[in-house]
């Protein structure tokens, strides 16, 4: 059974930093690309970043480029998202996501609140 468990969210002031983690199990982690998707209060889902299975390539939403960094440790079956220079508009629940031929798998999410 595929399991994705996010952690690391919290309340942070504007300009602050957080590191999100996603522990994966139940599938061959190093064979799958991974993504982070967020949902702000009262809004729809928004793709944030993605990383290739070997970590060799990454992509970002324009509004987070230069502030967020996605990475993975395939030896630990863990995906990360480093969030720097946080803004109030980054407030959201952040989900890690992967897909295979049968569909998409989501974690339960971790909440990030950026507020003074």
Distances (CA, A) of 8 to 12, 31, 65, 101, 112: 11, 24, 20, 29, 8
Torsion, Cα of 59, 56, 23, 82 (10° steps): -50
Choice among 31-35, 68-72, 73-77, 101-105 with the minimum mean pLDDT: 101-105
Which residues are registered as beta bridge partners of 45?
Answer: 39
Q: With a cut of 90, say whether residue 101 has pLDDT above it.
A: no
Amino acid 16: pLDDT: 98
Residues contacting 111, CB < 8 A, separation 6+: 9, 10, 92, 93, 94
**What is the pairing mode between strands 3-7 and 58-60?**
unpaired
42-49 LR contacts (CB < 8 Å, sep 24+): 43/92, 46/92, 48/81, 48/94, 49/81
Amino acid 33: pLDDT: 97
Amino acid 4: pLDDT: 98
Q: With a cut of 90, say whether residue 116 has pLDDT above it.
A: yes
In the chain, what percentage of residues exceed pLDDT 70? 100
Residue 56 structure tokens: 């060799």
Residue 57 structure tokens: 């390539």
pLDDT, tens digit (0-9, with 9 covering 90-100), for 38-77: 999 999 999 999 999 999 999 999 999 999 999 999 999 9
Amino acid 49: pLDDT: 98
Half-sphere exposure of 107 (CA within 13 A, CB side): 26
């Amino acid at each position: 059974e595929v399991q994705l468990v996010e952690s690391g969210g919290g309340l942070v002031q504007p300009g602050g930093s957080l590191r999100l983690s996603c522990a994966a199990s139940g599938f061959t982690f190093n064979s799958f690309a991974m993504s982070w998707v967020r949902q702000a209060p009262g809004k729809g889902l928004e793709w944030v970043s993605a990383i290739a299975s070997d970590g060799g390539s990454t992509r970002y939403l324009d509004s987070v480029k230069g502030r967020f960094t996605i990475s993975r440790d395939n030896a630990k079956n863990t995906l990360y998202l480093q969030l720097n220079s946080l803004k109030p508009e980054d407030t959201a629940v952040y989900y890690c996501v992967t897909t295979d031929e049968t569909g998409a798998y989501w974690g339960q999410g971790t909440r990030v609140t950026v507020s003074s």
